[in-house]
Amino acid sequence: MTLAIRARNLVKEYDDVRALDGLDISVEAGEFFGLLGPNGAGKTTFINILVGLAHRTDGEAAVFGHDVEAEYQQARDAIGLAPQEYNVDRFFPIQEVLEHKAGYHGIPSGEATRRAEEALKTVGIYEKRDTRFDWLSGGMKRRFMLARALVSDPDLLILDEPTAGVDVQLRRDLWDVINRMNDAGTTILLTTHYIEEAERLCDRVAIMDEGCKVEEASPDELMDRGTDRITVSMGSTPATAPELNLSDVHDARIEDSDLVVTAARGSSVVPDLLRQLEAMGYTVTEVDIERASLEEVFVDMTRTGSAVEA
């Protein structure tokens, strides 16, 4: 399988700060890959190295097999970037900005105009095509950032917090666009602090902290490592939680006349749990499993005493 992104032992130092500390990440072509991490984890630094806005100190980074510095033209031609910060040319109406961006990618004038119009229609701001960026609303600005990333029809779409600060409806609209791109074969690298976004969209997720990759797995696999909450209603509620002999159970207690059990891989624990309770003479009337969220797993993995994004 072709790798859309390959980073090996990637290091980036700013004076005495080590922003990336031997980062290893591989993203397969066509994959929807999420990058999570607290502020300062190195996510944006990693993206900047890929697109040419930062020089690596050491290590390797390649996009579709092209080294991001030695073969920067090929690497950058494959990338569409929607950065977190607004960095848009304020001198021109937004359609012209898109035409320029397409032109930089070698797309001839007439075709650039067609693609710019198509990109604006895709994100739903075509009627604002003659407006300058500064005059767009906050939501429209976010839509435009996505349009600019799409206009060169990239093989790799890098989205750095693409839905930061937008309302729920717009977020879902943007998800639809991004999902369609991914369905059409575009590789997506997404950083987000909306864990729900990563759960819903990503095939795989890497969690970064202090310049390193802490974990990498599918959202489901990561959630399996979290602690599920199993609520058991019984015919007669004991005064204290029964002694359970199950290896994955972390805790059991009585809450509001229900037995609440916290355990890893809750769904696989439940059959044994029910058998033990019945063996103890309890009658179970209802069982509810509340899965751990990716957010909880993320917070656990990156807990350093400092504030985290999620």
Summarize as ranges the residues that interact with another protein (CB under 8 A). Answer: 12, 14, 45, 48, 51-55, 64, 66, 70-79, 81, 83, 85, 87-92, 97, 99-101, 103-112, 114-115, 148, 152-155, 184-186
Structure tokens that stand for 262 in this block: 């916290």
| Shortest separation between residue 115's beta carbon and another protein, angstroms | 8
CB under 8 Å to 292, separation ≥6 — which residues? 223, 225, 226, 227, 228, 229
Residue 82 or 166: the one with the smaller Cβ distance to another protein is 82
> Quick one: which H or E segment has residue 222?
helix 219-224
Residue 34 or 83: the one with the smaller Cβ distance to another protein is 83
Residue-wise burial string across 104-133, b where 16 or more C-beta atoms lie within 10 A, e elsewhere: ebebeeeebbebbbebbebbbbbebeeebb
Residue 53 or 280: the one with the smaller Cβ distance to another protein is 53
Closest CA to 27 of 56, 58, 55, 64: 64
Residue 40 or 242: the one with the smaller Cβ distance to another protein is 40
Q: CA gyration radius for the chain?
A: 24
* CA gap 252, 264 in Å, rounded: 13
Residue 17 or 279: the one with the smaller Cβ distance to another protein is 17
Residue 10 or 294: the one with the smaller Cβ distance to another protein is 10
| Shortest separation between residue 94's beta carbon and another protein, angstroms | 12
| Shortest separation between residue 109's beta carbon and another protein, angstroms | 8
Residue 14 or 135: the one with the smaller Cβ distance to another protein is 14
| Shortest separation between residue 70's beta carbon and another protein, angstroms | 6
Biggest alpha carbon–alpha carbon distance for the chain: 79
- Per the listing, tokens 């969690």 go with 207
| Shortest separation between residue 19's beta carbon and another protein, angstroms | 9
| Shortest separation between residue 121's beta carbon and another protein, angstroms | 16
Q: In Å, how far are 17, 60, 162, 212 from 147, measured between CA atoms?
A: 34, 30, 11, 31
| Shortest separation between residue 80's beta carbon and another protein, angstroms | 8
Q: Taken in order 12, 18, 22, 28, is the CA torsion positive or negative? A: negative
